[in-house]
Amino acid sequence: MRLSKFFLPTLKETPAEAQIASHRLMLRAGMVRQQSAGIYAWLPLGLRVLNKVANIVREEQNRAGINEILMPTLQSADLWRESGRYDDYGQEMLRITDRHKREMLYGPTNEEMVTDIFRTYVRSYKQLPVNLYHIQWKFRDEVRPRFGVMRGREFLMKDAYSFDLDKESAVKSYNNHFVAYLRTYQRMGLKAIPMKADTGPIGGDHSHEFIVLAETGESQVFCDKAWVETDVLENPLVKEKDLQPFVDWATGMYAATEEKHDPANCPVPAENLVTARGIEVGHIFYFGTKYSEPMKAAVTAPGSETVTVHMGSYGIGVSRLLGAIIEASHDDAGIIWPESVAPFKIGLINMKVGDATCDAAAEDLYAKFEAAGVEVLLDDRDERAGVKFADMDLIGLPWQVVIGPRGIANGMVEVKNRKTGEKREVTVAQALAELS
């Protein structure tokens, strides 16, 4: 992509309404534009990252054997009356009436709808377990939408649902999702710690919020400092078919949200307890027959009796993750994208547009990166070098390759690592070889 053709409305001034770094930087880098409170239009740079994040989520769901579907954003109120949630959900639900005066709603989540799909098609225990997910926009009329995409009203969520014959097999599904989540966040360069979370009236140990530690996080969380120091996916137990030993080991390290944390009974000595703020980037929950019972989602069991299925649901805040990644990875100059979610891998800067040698070298390198399948953004604008450097630092591409008249006369370019700031003079051929 050429910057001269790329719609990248960067801002020099810091928008007054943005209170935290990620919100500020997303606006300044021209990633999103607020259309109403908590409702955003995604501009080209933002959309590229959103799609990358969604794709990592998708790949890890697929790898875990979960089936992708796509349910609509609009749902019928009657479906929610079956579970009793239409009246219970309260003001966070956006209720809509169509021209025939039918009551509809913009889905804040999809337990009812997916349960309806399940009960329509699945009749026998032999078809279990069933695991379905989708990546779809949700609407929750949050009292206080804030921090940009972190707490939007319209936001992108991956929500998965599991259906099993009994609790024992439902826990296997739960463990499968648990591990898929760890892999997902790690691929985005994030450390998300699974913390014991509230199960409400359902009770039990099977609810974890995945939390990214950040000063600007909205919740208060507590964990053993071992969590911060350990890369849990390195434990070979994670490769076993039975994931229970892995999950037992991982959750053996204490981690709890404020609702679950009890200072009087905390097993971690004070000197090892991390007390911090955190961002909830995902939530997994086993809730038994809460929806299947009222909605009559049942199968024929081996003894031919009818059994109500056990369910779990598993959410990831896809759009919120962009905020969380930026909170975890930025500096004064701008965003620092981990390579896996970067909108482009390389920013190729032609310092002197109009100079025949620079232009020829930039075009040549650009064509070669493109041919090698490397995502590259060529700054071919006729702008001052200072503006180009500032914009490139702001949008945070992992690598910058700078072509200037002096260097290129000797066949040299400068390669800068955005994260470390390290700069090296290398030949054009070296730059190509190292970055392709």
Cα separation, 342 vs 346, in Å, equals 9
157 binds, among Mg ion, ligand ATP, none (CB under 5 to 8 A by kind): ligand ATP
Q: Which one of ligand ATP, Mg ion, none is in contact with 317 (Cβ closer than 5 to 8 A by kind)?
A: ligand ATP
Residues lying near ligand ATP in the complex (CB under 6 A) are found at 109, 140, 142, 151-152, 155, 157, 280-283, 315, 317, 319-320
Using DSSP's 3-state secondary structure scheme, residue 237 falls into: helix
Q: Tell me if 151 contacts Mg ion by CB under 5 A.
A: no
| Contact partner at residue 151 from ligand ATP, Mg ion, none, CB < 5 to 8 Å by partner kind | ligand ATP
Structure tokens at 417: 């690592």
For ligand ATP, give the closer residue by CB, 145 or 334. 145
Residue 283 binds Mg ion (CB under 5 A) = yes
Supply the minimum distance, in Å, between the C-beta of residue 36 and Mg ion: 19
Strands 346-350 and 399-403: parallel
**Residue closest to Mg ion, measured at CB:** 283
How many residues interact with Mg ion (rule CB under 5 A)?
A: 2
Other Cβ atoms less than 10 A from the Cβ of 318: the count is 27
In single-letter form, the type of residue at position 64 comes to A
Contacted entry of Mg ion, ligand ATP, none for residue 260, CB cut-off 5 to 8 Å set by kind: none
| Closest to ligand ATP by CB, 48 or 283 | 283
Least Å from the CB of residue 357 to ligand ATP:
48
Report the relative pairing of strands 376-379 and 346-350 from DSSP bridges: parallel
Nearer to ligand ATP, 212 or 351 (CB): 212
Specify the residue, 280 or 379, whose C-beta has the smaller distance to Mg ion: 280
Of 201 and 354, which CB lies nearer to Mg ion in the complex structure?
A: 201
223: number of Cβ within 10 Å: 26
Which CB sits closer to ligand ATP, 146 or 172?
146
Vertex 79, ends 78 and 84: CA angle to 5°? 85
User: Residue 282 binds what, of Mg ion, ligand ATP, none (CB under 5 to 8 Å, by partner type)?
Assistant: ligand ATP
Q: Is 377 left (phi over 0), alpha (psi -120 to 50) or beta?
A: beta
Cα gap 24→26, rounded to integer Å: 6
Minimum CB–partner distance for residue 26 and Mg ion (Å): 21
Residue closer to ligand ATP by CB (options 155, 399) is 155
In the bound state with ligand ATP, the residue whose beta carbon lies nearer, of 195 and 349, is: 195
Closest separation in Å from C-beta 85 to ligand ATP: 12
In the list Mg ion, ligand ATP, none, the entry touching 310 (Cβ below 5 to 8 angstroms by class) is: none
What is the smallest separation between the CB atom of 104 and Mg ion, expressed in angstroms? 21
Judged by CB, which is closer to Mg ion: 58, or 153?
Answer: 153
Residues 402, 306: Cα–Cα separation, whole Å = 68
Residue with tokens 């009236």: 201
* DSSP secondary structure, 84-124, as one string: THHHHSGGGSEEEE-TT--EEEE-S--HHHHHHHHHHH--B
d(CA 399, CA 346): 5
CB of 290 to Mg ion, least distance (A): 15
Least CB distance to Mg ion at residue 39 (A) = 16
Burial pattern 237-264, b for ≥16 Cβ within 10 A else e, equals ebeeeebeebbeebbebbbbbeebbeee
- Find all residues with CB under 8 Å of 19, minimum gap 6, and list them: 146, 147
C-alpha distances in Å from residue 81, one per residue of 202, 347, 431 = 20, 52, 61
Burial class (CB in 10 A: 0-12, 13-18, 19+), 162: buried
Q: How far is the CB of 398 from Mg ion (least distance, A)?
A: 31
In this chain, which stretch among 13-21, 61-69, 222-230, 273-281 interacts with Mg ion, using CB under 5 A?
Answer: 273-281
Question: Least distance in Å: CB of 148 to ligand ATP?
Answer: 10
In the bound state, the residue with its beta carbon closest to ligand ATP is 317
Binding site for Mg ion (CB under 5 A): 280, 283
